[in-house]
Structure 1
């Protein structure tokens, strides 16, 4: 959440402003007040926190803030500018009148937080001071501190969808952890909401700051997808920096050519989201070329990884046409699980962990070229095995995966070699042979 106040004084006043800011930071560097439950000051390398929480909690908060700041500044490639000052409140009754501005107090009474900033600009540079006012609730101070970092470092927090989405990401970020790890309430809201918020609604520039945590949840989901999905993350970081610097960049210009792909992957993410879900592992491969199986019986081949979502087979299928296939190799669906073949180790059990399954991205006509400007539609998943034949009921592109819970793919291992041909022509496919899964 943000509430910016832009300074209107001339740039010539900058030295006075800087002196005032430095003087303020020096005064707030005093030793913590000893009185129980009265506001005290705690300082770390980049933060000055005024709070009425116990010292142990205050120090733990500073550690979380510093860890978060290291991660987000590393992501954006900009060192923090200045000290971030925070008022973290457990009980307003512990604070003297006038200790905080009315806007900060109002948000704290709501059980929320706000970042109030003042800035001065010239043609090519700026100076900004952002102050956080927040309830002493895990997550809220980190969220607001992201806004403060952006305001002091870039001079802006960007458009609403980006500002609030990235601030939510900041409070959940853990180094080296790409899993969904948002607040349980956020996760439950996204899982149960019907209809789910569309990407167009999230990017709506007419929405204003100060709205609900439910809206923040959807913005977080979009930013989490774009920041971690290998199809989009390379463009997302420079887009974000450009938005923060208020350059002439936009989501539409950056992703216009693949907007429908993003929308499809975003909807897919929302429909399968759970704690532990990895958007990087579940990303769709849009670069693989597809073809109809040759009439002479030459097979189309693909490698299918256990630790991934739907993967392209390279084959475009025609409804009502029988196809023969094999899947050689073994894989594991848990670190200590026994390697199994593509039948999942149980030839008759539906949805057995480790079973090869397929899905068709539908086309309206046989051999139709796919137009990425149009929405994508998926068939129902269907079971495959080590070897067999099947007759699809839909035209379209065949995708494959190793069956496992969507939020449990990260500990999978192994690959199977898939081959598919027209069933009625050519030589039969060789019987698949299991190959050992590489040691973990």
Structure 2
């Protein structure tokens, strides 16, 4: 929920003069329940500036208390201990942002985080639409007036519901506004805020909520181009807020904005949330795929600094490969899936075998599909063998603990006409007939969420089947295929 730079006044001027404030807000979240990831940070000394609770520190239901850490001024009703934990998470998120974008957080970032916003006094929030934004949208971020955003000197204010992850998402927007004066295009600002919220800033494995996984399993796939060029996905929310503000202006300005929030307005929030999920998927994929991560980081920095930057131009030479890998990432997305497993060896040549030639490749157990070095011919029979296999889960690796290839067969697939064929299993040795023409790629067989934790390597040798392979051919069973939807490069 990006900010849009409208001006905020702490003294309630006539509503007409401040309507514009919320019209450019990006959408919040709808019941996001993913646990925010924490990392070790220096414990922030929490200073209680004002109190609206009893001496026991019980959960607040009458209004906010104010707390402070190094970079955050927090107004919240969650209670002392939860507020302290929230400050730690917000500082951890700011630490990631500072390291990733290589610019420290500027000044104090002010946050209003409400668990029972309906119980807050009317003057506890600095804008008449803030209560609506927290309770019906989830979170928004804006800036105070009189500051130069272009020079990165804006002072942002966050409003967020006290649900796991929403304040962390908003603090990323606040950091970008304070440090750069902008947040970038919608797909980037929302995708990166979600990336930080879901812990993808520190690790390549997916840790999104279960509803995200279900969403991607039930939605038709989208291309990267459609996500990047989708435009302002929060326009519907801006329109909804404009309508509410207009109705408040015509009515008694003391009237609660919630009275004018309708089901159609709520639907706009849901649409925005769906777009956020795709934004997150793209940013997580690009940030952790070595084929594209370096350029992605440079592109993002340029977008935040207001320099000329173009996504299509940045990835013009690898657009088809990138779309192929992203489609694979979304197809297999699950909690624990490492985005770097979807990285392909496009630069490794695969050549046709001549005569008795053989090709040997070392296949790393913890990688995704890797080039076998062999380009297959449809209808031709090939013999293979695997040797020097030494693979084991990382947690089991020790001087006397090692599993064998028998537990970890290889999985092979042929890439033909920009489409990945049906995968099949390679055991210790055997033969197979290629069902299409194209380079063969292989990986350790297993769940995508598991193979990233396996260590070791397998040496795969592939050659044309010979007379001495007759015994293998006689014993050969039909290739064991794997029920996996095909992936295309478009």
TM-score in terms of structure 2 length: 0.74
Match of 1:309 in 2: 368
* Unaligned runs of at least 5 residues, structure 1: 9-28, 346-352, 364-375, 432-440
Of 405, 420, 429 in structure 2, the residue corresponding to residue 387 of structure 1 is 429
| 1:264 alignment partner, SS class | helix
Query: Which one of the candidate residues 382, 400, 403 is aligned to 2:442?
Result: 400
* DSSP 3-state at the match of 2:207: coil
Counterpart mapping for 1:6-405 below 5 A: 6=6, 31-36=49-54, 37=60, 38-100=63-125, 101-118=127-144, 125-173=151-199, 176-193=202-219, 195-209=220-234, 210=237, 211-295=271-355, 297-334=356-393, 335-336=395-396, 339-342=402-405, 345=406, 353-363=407-417, 376-405=418-447
What's the secondary structure of 1:144's corresponding residue? Answer: helix
The structure 1 segments of at least 4 consecutive aligned residues displaced by more than 6 Å after TM superposition are 121-124
Task: Decide whether the 8 Å contact of 2:149 with 2:182 is kept in 1.
Answer: no
Distance in structure 2 (CA, Å) of the matches to 1:251 and 1:54: 44
Give 1:121 shift.
7.1
Q: Is the 8 A contact 1:52 1:94 kept in 2?
A: no
Aligned residue for 1:3? 3
CA distance in 2, matches of 1:244, 1:231: 22
Q: Is the 8 A contact 1:325 1:418 kept in 2?
A: yes
User: Aligned-residue CA RMSD in angstroms?
Assistant: 2.5
Unaligned runs of 5+ residues in structure 2 are: 9-46, 55-59, 238-270, 473-490
**Counterpart contact for 2:3–2:173, Cα < 8 Å:** no
Deviations 1:303-328 (A, max 9, x none): 11111111100111000111121110
SS in 2 for 1:127: coil
Aligned partners of 2:284 and 2:333: how far apart in 1? 11
